[in-house]
Structure 1
Amino acid sequence: MDSTLVTVVEHHPFNRAGRDFVIGDLHGCLDALRFLLREIEFDPSRDRLFSVGDLVDRGSQSEEALALLDKPWFHAVLGNHEDTLCAVAEGKLKKQWWYGIGGLWSAHLPAEKLQSYAQRLRALPLVRVIGSGNERFNVLHAEFLGTDADLDADDFSVETRQQLLWGRSLAMGTGDPMSQLGLSLTYCGHTPMREVQQIGAQVFIDTGAFGPGGKLTIVEAHTTNRWSVTVDVARSVGAAALALP
């Protein structure tokens, strides 16, 4: 399934003023995010939060998650669930297929609202590159087998686009981490892990926030600092009442 993607690699300068964090697949689990932002004492005037995508589906707060795109401190890449939303809005995919992977929350959305979300999501890059040299790190959704130079070329084949959104070869043990020599530390999600795990150059930070026993994880880039919480625990301590920055 390949929708017409805007192939974009967006570059950001290194953050000299504050800290950079990366959040795993949100999947509509906003209360867990509220909790974690308080835990890390996130400062929206200096800190930035990068997202590996999959803001929507499965959890109960997909529209609230999409509202994060309007926050100046929040920087997401396109995930396969956003790509699916766009394909449905563009008439390229049947809604029932999307419902099967968690899109049922959209069943009562007016078509115009879904199309407006799709238009906003189509503007998201597939990759974000932060900093340069030893300070550089990349953020993407699923996986990339190649080098920084390959990413920076911003010239992806259909197969590479699919890999960026849907690939699991590294996580499943069939991809070759040696193909990532020359790739800076790269944060990704897509494949749920019990704990944060590095395979080759990639750090998998999706810890299954939406599922039983799963949790939402946030990491501070280029450090070993990480925080996780389940949705139930976050709500039990009043996270739903916390305001987002």
Structure 2
Amino acid sequence: MTSEAFPIVSRHAANTAGRDFVVGDLHGCVDALRYLLREIIFDPACDRLFSVGDLIDRGRQSEEALALLDKPWFFPVLGNHEEALCLVAEGSMPRRAWEALGGSWAHAVPDAVLRAYARRLRTLPLVRVVGSGPRRFNVLHAEFFGDDAALDAGFFTERVYQQLLWGRELALGSGIVERQTGLSPTYCGHTPMREIGRIGSQIFIDTGAFASMGKLTVTEALTARAWSISVERAVAEGAAQMSLP
């Protein structure tokens, strides 16, 4: 594959027709997403849903989450759990290491299907940049230290690549916030929070959807509006019978 065909950084024009939303780490909790999309009155004709990655593992609906890749309104970035699936399918990671991350759902998935998932996931960017100027926001999985220009350039060292997928320095308090000077609001996940939180330019929206006390969160980009629900409550409210747009 080439960087021209599958860019590391994907750019999107501002949405002048509808609204843009960002969803936290899904982790196979599609029923919670069904509920939230109905709650926000999501319009697939003009609204867009960006994802900070980690669609799969831990929850019970990983394959349903992967099916979201076919939705024209859904725009995810690669997460570390998708990276793990790809590495297993490509023979670079033992299955037991992925299973420790929550990949045991794939036991019944034929190798050919897993490889097909990996090929599709390898087309996902590490970063999505939406809009420009004061209406710009970025979407990535874990963390990034640098400004918009460095993000736009897309020339990431191996260390930066790993930080984009696995980094927790900022969330755990060891990252230097000032290294984000010049970075537009940047939505990320990876590190579960009790509630949406902002550190420097980064807005952490993973609220642990797969966990017993967790919930899935969707926020409207560049606003204070956010919606959350636990899988248990979503199912109790009939989410399994709700259709996706």
Question: Shorter chain as normaliser: what TM range?
Answer: over 0.9
Q: Are positions 1:227 and 2:245 aligned together? A: no
CA positional deviation for 1:31 = 0.2
SS at match of 1:21: strand
Which residue in the other structure is 1:192 paired with?
192
SS at match of 2:101: coil
Which residue in the other structure is 2:149 paired with?
149
Contact kept? 1:7, 1:155, Cα under 8 Å: no
SS at match of 1:100: helix
SS at match of 1:171: coil
Equivalent residue letter for 2:162:
Q
Which residue in the other structure is 1:40 paired with?
40
Q: Are positions 1:30 and 2:30 aligned together? A: yes
Which residue in the other structure is 2:213 paired with?
213
Which residue in the other structure is 1:50 paired with?
50
TM-score, length-scaled by structure 1:
0.97
Structure 1: which 5+ runs fail to align?
none
TM-score, length-scaled by structure 2:
0.97
CA positional deviation for 1:7 = 5.9
C-alpha distance after superposition, 1:177-197 (max 9, x if no partner): 110000000000000000000
C-alpha distance after superposition, 1:56-88 (max 9, x if no partner): 000000000000000000000000000000000
CA positional deviation for 1:157 = 0.4
> Within 2, Cα distance between the matches of 1:223 and 1:35?
21
> Within 2, Cα distance between the matches of 1:15 and 1:75?
13
> Within 1, Cα distance between the matches of 2:243 and 2:143?
33
Aligned sequence identity (%): 63
Structure 2: which 5+ runs fail to align?
none
SS at match of 1:138: strand
C-alpha distance after superposition, 1:73-104 (max 9, x if no partner): 00000000000000000000000010011000
> Within 1, Cα distance between the matches of 2:213 and 2:94?
31
Which residue in the other structure is 1:160 paired with?
160
Q: Are positions 1:239 and 2:239 aligned together? A: yes
Q: Are positions 1:172 and 2:176 aligned together? A: no
Equivalent residue letter for 1:95:
R
SS at match of 2:219: strand
> Within 2, Cα distance between the matches of 1:35 and 1:158?
38
Which residue in the other structure is 1:86 paired with?
86
SS at match of 2:218: strand
Aligned residues: 241
Q: Are positions 1:21 and 2:21 aligned together? A: yes
C-alpha distance after superposition, 1:150-193 (max 9, x if no partner): 01111100000000000000000000111000000000000000
SS at match of 2:170: helix
| Aligned pairs for 1:68-83 within 5 A | 68-83=68-83
